[in-house]
Amino acid sequence: MCGIVGYVGSEPAAHLLIEGLEKLSYRGYDSSGIATLHNRHFHRVRAKGKLEKLKEKLEGQENLATIGIAHTRWATHGMPTEANAHPHQNDKVSLVHNGIIENADSLKKMLLQQGYEFESETDTEVIAHLLHYHLTQGLNPQQALQKLQETLRGAYALGILFAQDLNRIYIMRHGSPLVVGRGETGHFIGSDALALGEWCQQFCYLENGDFGWIEQGRLSLWNEAGEPCERSFQHVSVVSENQSKEGYPYFMAKEIHEQPQVIRQTLSAYLDFETFGIKEDFAALKSQGYKRVQIVGCGTAFLAGRLGKYWLEGIAGLPTSVEIASEFRYCQKPIETDTLYLFISQSGETADTLAAHEIVKAVGAPTGAIVNVPHSTLDREVDLSLYTYAGAEIGVASTKAFTAQLCALYALSLCLAPDHKKLKEHFEVLKSLPGLVQQTVDRIEKEAPRIAMDLAKTEDMLFIGRHTLYPIALEGALKMKELSYVHAEGYGAGELKHGPIALIHAGFPTIALLDESALKEKTLSNVQEVQARGGPLYGLVSEGALTAEQEASFKDILYLPKTSEEVSPFLMTIAVQWLAYFTAMVRGNDIDQPRNLAKSVTVE
Ligand code: AGP
């Protein structure tokens, strides 16, 4: 989603800003722009599309300004055009914004009455003109910001240049995250620390309502009440993760291949395979005596929670509810202090998940996160973080972060299980997991293209599964939608008769997930129902799970290594990832940055 970078210091700013934007590009964007300030004039360059377009425009321009702001935009208000790209400006103010201003329409109306003209359809331009208006009313930049803060409703992180203030970038934050980085040659701002890791190791995370400015060697802040405040810098070593594809055609392919290692790392962070014990930090959770678990997340993270529910209930015996964050935050569910509230997020910056967490925190109930990005907002706000050791995930479609979330959930279920003596079997099963996942990654990579060729020709499809394979059917449908743009639905196989079976016809494929579980025969009955209505069937099947006669119902089958019921959801996950990947490839889609999507969804 939108990204912000800003720099003020002794070096020319433009090239630093572009490098910062490149680091943020994984978040997804559709236009970009920079503005520098020199001799009281803004020099702004913006472009629609990829950063390359912006770089082409900047090529050959000598720009010695040592202060500037930059932005990657993911369209919310208005199409992805150059006119809507940030920075937005007038002769006094130039600014970049992440978030959404909810009262932009009424503010715009007021500004139109004051004679302001708008060249974009964005909510951000309203902020630029509102600040301009306050300056013309005799306020200085700091006073104008305070006034702004009282007026704006919604979420915002802002980096602002005032033409009258040559050496400062003004900053302000409410809802959307903003971080200040201290570098050797100057101060930076960023929407996340990842953009600044190359130059900074000391970071200060702004609190909600903070506003102020950065200069070359200084940060000055005021809190929401307008009182000066100190926020400390902390040492954060942003691991400059390898953002190269390492020979793979797409980050997604690389990240699918990384899963055996990610699983190994995440499991061994929590489980001791030598002693069959739970690692100490994690075991402390057990003494809390939770009665229930409430999981909250969005998209793929939510679906990890849907699968985790089976383990938390089946292994730990804890009633578990799972809710999407955008509903949880408004559902007025009673918050109970003997419930563990568990927020799952790869980025730790998802606006809905953060808002849901705030509600629980306000009541004082215990909160935990399964999170992949250390120092992210969620990581900083929860009582306890269970990290997933997936490393930076660049592909917009989540793959390795999902399997790492599953590992953390499985390990958590073991930790919370009442009788640890019965757990040995689970340890044995999990020990074999990385190897089985490796076999699946390699095998299905070779075989999935065959089925993907068929799937790419359709516009609708269905994934079905039961029990722990039901959430994977949902995840398969989500992956397929976001990557191939084919309409896909995931259903619990037993639910087919209650409506979706009406969709079945010769051009509507159903992908059935089948393993050697007690419910296999029931899923096979549902497969028969599809076959009887002429729907083409494809199977993702554990080796040995079908007889020759049962195989005959399917047009094609991808066989996964034979394994236990506990492990098969992991292997099925790999299969649905490759299926979506190759279907998207056949359709010629942008695999790492699918249309309309953002990696980190920082607005509601
Ligand atoms: C997954 O493929 C998606 N791109 C998306 O659903 C994602 O999982 C969701 O936006 C939640 O993100 P988070 O894990 O960073 O909170």
- Give the ligand 1 atom nearest the CA of 402: 8
Q: Is 326 in the pocket of ligand 1 (CB under 6 A)?
A: no
- Give per-residue pLDDT as tens, 116-156: 999 999 999 999 999 999 999 999 999 999 999 999 999 89
pLDDT band, residue 287 (cuts 50/70/90): confident
| CA angle (91, 97, 101) in 5-degree steps | 105
Domain 244-431 has CATH 3.40.50.10490: yes
Q: Is 351 in the pocket of ligand 1 (CB under 6 A)?
A: no
Task: Please name every residue paired with 414 in a beta bridge, in sequence order, or none if there are none.
Answer: none
Per-residue pLDDT, 502:
94
Q: What SS3 class is residue 435?
A: helix
Q: Is 598 in the pocket of ligand 1 (CB under 6 A)?
A: no
CATH code at 3-238: 3.60.20.10
Ligand 1 centre distance from Cα of residue 396 (Å): 8
Query: Of these residues, 400, 481, 520, 599, which one is catalytic?
Result: 599
Pairing between strand 67-73 and 88-89?
unpaired
Q: What is the mean pLDDT of residues 531-542?
A: 96
Could you give the CA distance from residue 232 to residue 247 in angstroms, rounded to a whole number?
Answer: 41
Ligand 1 centre distance from Cα of residue 300 (Å): 5
Q: Is 353 in the pocket of ligand 1 (CB under 6 A)?
A: yes
pTM of the predicted structure, to 2 decimals: 0.89
- Give the ligand 1 atom nearest the CA of 297: 16
CA 218 to chain CA centroid, Å, is: 32
Ligand 1 centre distance from Cα of residue 478 (Å): 10
The reply to whether 415 belongs to the active site is no
CA distances to 28, 435, 490 from 426, rounded to whole Å, are: 38, 16, 28
What single DSSP character describes residue 337? T
- Give per-residue pLDDT as tens, 230-278: 999 998 877 655 567 889 999 999 999 999 999 999 999 999 998 888 8
Q: Is 388 in the pocket of ligand 1 (CB under 6 A)?
A: no
Residue 197 reports pLDDT greater than 70: yes
- Give the ligand 1 atom nearest the CA of 479: 2
Instruction: Round the average pLDDT of the chain to a whole number and report it.
Output: 94
Ligand 1 centre distance from Cα of residue 299 (Å): 5
CA distances to 453, 473, 533, 556 from 505, rounded to whole Å, are: 19, 20, 6, 17
CATH 3.40.50.10490 location in the chain: 244-431, 441-589
Name the residue among 356, 520, 543 with its Cα closest to residue 444: 543
| Residue 491, H or E segment | strand 487-492
Q: What is the mean pLDDT of residues 171-188?
A: 94
- Give the ligand 1 atom nearest the CA of 478: 2
Per-residue pLDDT, 315:
94
Per-residue pLDDT, 241:
55
Could you give the CA distance from residue 529 to residue 350 in angstroms, rounded to a whole number?
Answer: 40
Q: Is 301 in the pocket of ligand 1 (CB under 6 A)?
A: yes
Q: Is 398 in the pocket of ligand 1 (CB under 6 A)?
A: yes
- Give the ligand 1 atom nearest the CA of 378: 16
Q: Whose C-alpha lies nearest to ligand 1, atom 7?
A: 299
Return the residue matching tokens 């028969």. 528
Q: Whose C-alpha lies nearest to ligand 1, atom 9?
A: 299
Q: What is the mean pLDDT of residues 67-82?
A: 91
- Give per-residue pLDDT as tens, 326-343: 999 998 889 999 999 999
Ligand 1 centre distance from Cα of residue 282 (Å): 25
CATH 3.60.20.10 location in the chain: 3-238
To test the ligand 1 pocket, which listed residue (377, 381, 398) has its Cβ within 8 A of the most ligand atoms?
A: 398
Per-residue pLDDT, 239:
61
Q: Is 396 in the pocket of ligand 1 (CB under 6 A)?
A: yes
The reply to whether 204 belongs to the active site is no
Task: Please name every residue paired with 339 in a beta bridge, in sequence order, or none if there are none.
Answer: 292
Query: Of these residues, 2, 200, 204, 415, which one is catalytic?
Result: 2
CATH code at 441-589: 3.40.50.10490
Q: What is the mean pLDDT of residues 429-450?
A: 97
Ligand 1 centre distance from Cα of residue 301 (Å): 6
Q: Is 399 in the pocket of ligand 1 (CB under 6 A)?
A: no
What DSSP line would sit under 359-386, residue for residue?
Answer: HHHHHT--EEEEESSTTSHHHHHSSEEE
To test the ligand 1 pocket, which listed residue (194, 298, 378) has its Cβ within 8 A of the most ligand atoms?
A: 298
| CA angle (267, 247, 571) in 5-degree steps | 35
